[in-house]
Amino acid sequence: MHRSMELITVIVQRKDGHKAVEAALKAGAPGVTSFYGRGTGVRQKLSVFGLFIRAEKQIILIAATKENADKILDSIVKEVHLDKPGRGFAYVQTINRVVGYYEGGEPPACKP
């Protein structure tokens, strides 16, 4: 059982999701969980021909060791330019207790 890890959450435009996932994996993320969502806020108030703009998002979750979290996040920031306004949003949370985390290598033996 891992005691302390980091959860990296990245929210980007759907078109940038694949680049963010690839950057995370290249930087050492053991895996990612992603899903799609829809944002609301400033863009919702903007309209084209009287129709609201739907902001399609990809939400990416990455559980990483504390040693790798900064490297993974920095790689994503660089790849999808999260340091520029309107490109997305990311944050890191400490996970105090983790069960079932698998870092790769030889899979653990499963007993029926």
Contacts made by residues 50-58, CB under 8 angstroms, sequence distance 24+: 55/13, 56/13, 56/14, 57/11, 57/12, 57/13, 57/14, 58/11, 58/12, 58/13, 58/14, 58/16, 58/17, 58/20, 58/34
- The pLDDT of residue 20 is 97
pLDDT of residue 1: 55
Of 23 and 2, more confident? 23
For 89-100, b where at least 16 C-beta lie within 10 A, e where not — what string? ebebeebeeeee
Domain 5-95 matching CATH 3.10.20.740: the answer reads no
Please report the pLDDT score of residue 4 as a whole number.
Answer: 74
Q: Which band of pLDDT confidence, cut at 50, 70 and 90, is reported for residue 44?
A: low
pLDDT digits (tens, 9 = 90+) for 53-106: 556 899 999 999 989 999 999 999 999 999 998 899 999 999 988 887 766 666
Residue, of 40 and 23, whose pLDDT is higher: 23
pLDDT band at 50 (very low <50, low <70, confident <90, very high): low
Phi, psi of 11, deg, nearest 5: -125, 115
Give the residue extent of every domain in the chain. 5-95
Instruction: Tell me the whole-structure pTM to 2 decimals.
Output: 0.79
